[in-house]
Amino acid sequence: MLTSDKNEQTAPEKTNPENSKPMLFPVSPKLAAEAMVDDEKYRQMYQQSIVNPQGFWREHGQRIDWFTPFTKVKNVSFDDHHVDIKWFKDGTTNVSHNCLDRHLETKGDQVAIYWEGDEPGEQREITYRELHEEVSRFANALKSQGVRQGDVVAIYMPMVIEAAVAMLACTRIGAIHSIVFAGFSPEALAGRIIDSNAKIVITADEGVRGGRTTALKANVDEALTHPDIRTIEKVIVYRRTGADIPWHNHRDVWWHELQQLSSPHCQAREMGAEDPLFILYTSGSTGKPKGVLHTTGGYLVYASMTHEYLFDYRDGEVFWCNADVGWITGHTYVVYGPLCNGATIVMHEGVPNYPSVNRVSQIVDKYNVNILYIAPTAIRALMAHDKQAVEGTSRKSLRLLGTVGEPINPQAWHWYHQTVGEGRCPIVDTWWQTETGAAMITPLPGATALKPGSATRPFFGVMPALVDNMGNIIDGPGEGNLVILDSWPGQARTVYGDHERFVQTYFTSFKGMYTTGDGARRDEDGYYWITGRVDDVINVSGHRMGTAEIESAMVAHHQVAEAAVVGYPHDIKGQGIYVYVTLNSGVDYSFDLAADLKKWVRQEIGPIATPDIIQNAPGLPKTRSGKIMRRILRKIAAGECDSLGDTSTLADPSVVDQLIADRVEVS
Ligand code: 6R9
């Protein structure tokens, strides 16, 4: 399952030819002095958090307002006969109170959200006071529609301010939200509604993204024709585009009509720390999606604390995470973390390269964004246009860059650092998962010297370890399955309605540990390098290799924008290496280029990594959160094109037909 001895070959030589070790970007003395945490303080706080977690979290649990203070801090068992995770369990609080009410006195007139529409020129802004009023009204609106504490509310909304209002309104009255990405199909939405027994759906007439509209309300109508949906009582519809939409008088209600009728006063309900906060279905790369459940107190403490420390967030700064609220990054770093910290955020409705490839940079300039947090897939898409992606912009407000979602190849890291950040902004490469709630392995900007491609060191309270396939802990530098040895407050508590599946998925592979499903290597400085999902690792002639490693080498080639690598059955080697490659715009695919790329990878990693097959792939099958669905690529590579399984959760299912048409026969 694990990659073998190819550790030092992850392509840093290309950027630092004299030296085979990865380049090191030390913290500037100025930043170390200004930041909340320098290296010494990081080490001291980390040590304290591990030696005395009760004391550490007793102190840091105070960062949010509690209605009833907690006396218990951590009550956790990772024993697979009895997995039970509780934090701050006798405390009571409310998330929307912490994100809104407590800022009113000092920050009522500060902008909470700058909203930038899909088309340049479409914009809105809302202050904390206004957001508080909108949320309170909508909380009353939900109550008027029969929503009670503990009910599940499905949210199928585009990236509009009202998506955040809906989330916060749920938390205000103790309803559990379950956001379904607005690009998911009606089938995917129906499946999630059935699994969660949602009582209400909140949607919009249409969503707008990249110049195209999606018929969200029509999708909801279609989803609700599913015979197994019996729980939905109302559909609340926000008017985004004003398009004509089908209407069912007995069931459908306009958002704006409810808002007009509702009082702007709504007391935030006192919630137990362990009361459910939200369900979020994992992206569905394998099997039926799991409804990961997060609870109230621990999640909020951990989301807000990581937001403050890992972005070294300072009062008054503008923070932009361009994730969609339909995935965990949008929950934690668009809404809950920053708003709990009283930050000003940017929310963008559209995609990074519409209508022009310098859109991200333009938005940075427009709102004087200080901190930009985006995914490697977006970085690579922009990198394909190199300087055009920043043309006509200064980006001088930027102080810090972040990335999340997949391993970032050093090539993309350097481009982000040099071209977007002009070499001035540290990059925090944050490793985490839907299940972890918030960042787990990440640099802290004032404390951590950076190595491109490494998520570096654990956050406070996080005890990562590497284990071999037998579950033996690997000490020192090495490579293995990434596990977490003890709980942290932001950890998911269960799979909604299926605790057994939670235990099976995360706690049985390695006893007493949380299994992340990722592989990683740890270097001589204790830095972690995520090598990708362990199920994406391939075995070629008995040599095990991380697909991420080969992909990283591929994308280091100057004509390659993106690459996805899978194994396919090979008579002699066991598995062969099949590479799907997306070329930079303007580059034509040819057999000579394919030969060149094979040679390139051979040089970058070694003969064993030489691709057997290269397929030109103008588009790759990605989930809405930007993850490549390797399951589909594996099937196509293996010639099993008629058993691809569910492709409905793809951002653009039509890429699959193209891939099948262009498939390379593997004799
Ligand atoms: C937050 C999020 C989780 C999986 C995770 C890992 C990959 C996320 C990463 C990263 C390398 C990083 N991943 N961040 N790999 N470096 N900085 O993405 O959650 O959608 O649940 O995905 O994403 O494989 O296991 P989620």
Q: Can you list the domains of the chain with their CATH numbers?
A: 21-88+443-533 (2.30.38.10), 94-109+117-311+322-337 (3.40.50.12780), 541-662 (3.30.300.30)
Sheet containing strand 494-495, edge to edge, reads 252-254, 234-238, 200-204, 152-156, 176-179, 276-281, 291-295, 494-495
How do strand 574-583 and strand 613-616 relate by DSSP bridges?
parallel
Which residue's CA is the closest to the ligand 1 atom numbered 18? 405
The answer to whether 467 and 2 have CB atoms below 8 angstroms apart is no
Directed axis angle between helix 216-223 and helix 186-196, to 10°? Answer: 60
Interval 387-393 mean pLDDT? 98
**What CA–CA distance (Å, rounded) separates 516 from 506?**
7
Residue 472 marked in a binding site: no
Which residue's CA is the closest to the ligand 1 atom numbered 4? 433
Q: How far apart are the first and last CA of the chain?
A: 27
Please determine, for residue 77, whether its predicted confidence score (pLDDT) is greater than 90.
yes
Instruction: Dump pLDDT digits (tens) for 507-547.
Output: 999 999 999 988 999 999 999 999 877 766 676 765 656 68
- The confidence band for 2, taking pLDDT boundaries of 50, 70 and 90, is very low
Please state whether the peptide bond connecting residue 355 to the residue before it is cis, i.e. omega within 30 degrees of 0.
yes
Which residue's CA is the closest to the ligand 1 atom numbered 2? 433
**What CA–CA distance (Å, rounded) separates 608 from 620?**
25
Q: What is the CB neighbour count within 10 angstroms for residue 504?
A: 14
Residue tagged 């040590």 (tokens): 47
Instruction: Dump pLDDT digits (tens) for 609-638.
Output: 899 999 999 999 998 778 888 889 999 999
Residue, of 191 and 362, whose pLDDT is higher = 362
Residue 117 marked in a binding site: no
Residue tagged 């249409």 (tokens): 206
Specify which of 228-237, 279-288, 404-413 reaches the highest per-range mean pLDDT.
228-237
Residue 405 marked in a binding site: yes
DSSP-derived secondary structure letter, 274: T
Pocket test for ligand 1, best of 409, 530, 625, 627 (most atoms within 8 A of CB): 530
Sheet containing strand 400-404, edge to edge, reads 123-127, 111-116, 344-348, 318-321, 371-374, 400-404, 427-430
- The confidence band for 213, taking pLDDT boundaries of 50, 70 and 90, is very high
Average pLDDT, the chain: 92
Interval 341-360 mean pLDDT? 97
Please give the pLDDT value at position 545. 66
535 alpha carbon – ligand 1 mean position (Å): 14
The answer to whether 560 and 554 have CB atoms below 8 angstroms apart is yes
Interval 275-282 mean pLDDT? 94
**What CA–CA distance (Å, rounded) separates 74 from 392?**
51
Which residue's CA is the closest to the ligand 1 atom numbered 8? 405
Q: Which amino acid is at 515?
A: T
**What CA–CA distance (Å, rounded) separates 176 from 149?**
8
Atom of ligand 1 nearest to the CA of 455: 17
Structure tokens at 415: 């481009």
- The confidence band for 652, taking pLDDT boundaries of 50, 70 and 90, is confident
178 alpha carbon – ligand 1 mean position (Å): 20
* DSSP tally for the chain: helices H, then strands E: 21, 31
**What CA–CA distance (Å, rounded) separates 558 from 551?**
13
Least confident of 73-77, 79-83, 263-267: 79-83
Give the largest Cα separation in the chain, rounded.
Answer: 72
Please give the pLDDT value at position 12. 34
Interval 559-581 mean pLDDT? 89
Please determine, for residue 288, whether its predicted confidence score (pLDDT) is greater than 70.
no
Number of residues that make up the chain: 667
Which DSSP string corresponds to 49-102? HHH-HHHHHHHHGGGS--SB--S--EEEE--TTS-EEEESTT-EE-HHHHHTGG
434 alpha carbon – ligand 1 mean position (Å): 8
Instruction: Dump pLDDT digits (tens) for 425-479.
Output: 999 999 999 999 999 999 999 999 999 999 999 999 999 999 999 999 999 999 9
Please give the pLDDT value at position 6. 28
E strands along 548-628, which residues? Answer: 560-570, 574-583, 613-616
Q: What is the CB neighbour count within 10 angstroms for residue 616?
A: 17
Atom of ligand 1 nearest to the CA of 429: 17
> So what's the ipTM on this one?
1.00
Residue 429 marked in a binding site: yes
Pocket test for ligand 1, best of 324, 380, 432, 533 (most atoms within 8 A of CB): 432
Q: Which residues line ligand 1 (CB under 6 A)?
A: 282-283, 327-329, 404-407, 429-434, 455, 516-518, 530, 533, 625
Torsion of CA 639, 643, 648, 651, to 10 degrees: -10
Which residue's CA is the closest to the ligand 1 atom numbered 11? 407
Kind and range of the H or E run holding 483: strand 478-484
Residue 434 marked in a binding site: yes
Atom of ligand 1 nearest to the CA of 282: 21
Interval 278-293 mean pLDDT? 74
- 3-state helix vs strand vs coil in the chain, percent to 5: 35, 25, 45
Instruction: Dump pLDDT digits (tens) for 155-169.
Output: 999 999 999 999 999
